[in-house]
Structure formats: C-alpha cells, structure tokens
C-alpha cells in the first residue's frame, strides 16, 4: 500500500491503531514487517513479524468483519480515516451524545457559523468553519438533524473539546 493510510481496529475490548506510511506498516506506532496474500476466496496468509498465520475473513462491507486467525474467530470493527476524523470532530455516528453535540476538535478561531438555531441540516452539510494551525477546517453534520443551539459566534476563540453547537 502506498502513501499514508490510517485505521483503527476494534477487536473485542482491544484497540489497535494501524497506519501505513509508504510500504511500512505501523501497529500502535511500532513498525512491523508483513505480507498479506489471498490464497483463495476468503482465505488469506498473513506473514507478520516472521510468523505465518492462516486467516479467513467474512466481511459484509459495513466496516465489520468476522476474522478467524489460527482457528480462533473474533469480530473486528474497522474505522477508516473518515470515521476517525468524524469521531475526532465529535460526530461519531455510534454515540448519541456525539450526534447531539459538535465539539472543537482542536484549539482555534471560529471564522464562520453556517447554520442558525432551528435550521434543519442534512448529513455532510457545513456547520461552521474553524481556523486552526493556519488552516480552515469546515465542520460538517454527521447526520440529518435540527440545530438546537449555537454556543459560539464568528471570532470566538475555542479550546479543544469546547462545545460549539447542539442538535435536537
């Protein structure tokens, strides 16, 4: 895999941050050596840090999978870069509180508020623009909803995790 890709794998109660940078795979920031080859259908061979591990993957395509490694089966949930970004912006679709609140993902300055209280918004619609690290970051709605309250205005300096707006 080329470039840089980041994922988070949730395996039972354990979490693994997985990142490819160029041809190097990092698991929880530790560089590893690996090869992953499809043998047939759902059957793969994983060579990880010199160990050969047979793998069977049943993935319905919704970010979850049932993975069998060396005969042990477990459910795995994978979050890609988009899902991790949504989570970082407080828009994680799996959390009711996150669906009702948008919090500052980092310290910054509110440049524009794109919505008003009572306004219905659709998933992906712009909510506000936050300037952080000399970059404009447009925060978008993670789902459909109605804006309940806006806790900032243009020109407001915010700290990480400050409440920006709420949905009904």
Please name each of the domains of the chain with its CATH number. 4-79 (3.30.700.30), 96-167 (2.40.50.100)
Q: Are 18 and 29 in contact (CB under 8 A)?
A: no
Amino acid 158: pLDDT:
92
What is the DSSP code (8-state) at residue 81?
Answer: H
Structure tokens at 112: 């524009």
- How far, CA to CA in Å, does 101 sit from each of 23, 78, 97, 106, 147? 38, 23, 6, 15, 10
The CA-based angle 88-97-148, given to 5 degrees, is 105
Amino acid 164: pLDDT:
92
Helix (H) or strand (E) holding 97: helix 96-100
Amino acid 48: pLDDT:
81
User: Do β-strands 157-158 and 108-113 pair in parallel, antiparallel, or remain unpaired?
Assistant: antiparallel
> Against a cut of 0.85, is the pTM above it?
no
Amino acid 2: pLDDT:
43
Amino acid 1: pLDDT:
45
Digitized pLDDT (tens) for each residue of the chain, 168 residues in all: 445 577 888 877 788 888 888 778 888 889 988 888 889 988 989 888 888 889 898 877 666 788 888 788 888 887 776 666 666 655 554 444 446 888 888 889 999 999 999 999 988 888 999 888 778 888 888 778 899 999 999 999 999 888 999 998
């Amino acid at each position: 895999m080329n470039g840089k890709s980041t994922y988070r794998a949730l395996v039972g109660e354990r979490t693994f941050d997985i990142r490819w940078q160029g041809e190097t795979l990092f698991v929880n920031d530790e560089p590893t050596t690996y090869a992953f080859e499809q043998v047939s259908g759902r059957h793969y061979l994983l060579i990880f840090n010199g160990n050969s591990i047979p793998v069977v993957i049943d993935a319905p395509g919704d970010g979850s999978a049932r993975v069998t490694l060396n005969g042990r089966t477990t459910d795995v949930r994978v979050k890609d870069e988009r899902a991790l970004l949504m989570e970082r912006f407080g828009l994680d679709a799996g959390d009711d509180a996150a669906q009702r609140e948008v919090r500052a993902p980092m310290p910054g300055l509110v440049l524009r508020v794109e919505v008003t209280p009572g306004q219905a918004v659709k998933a992906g619609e712009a909510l506000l623009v936050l300037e952080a690290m000399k970059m404009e970051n447009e925060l978008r709605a993670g789902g459909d909803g109605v804006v309940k309250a806006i806790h900032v205005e243009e020109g407001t300096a915010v700290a990480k995790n400050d409440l920006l707006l709420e949905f009904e």
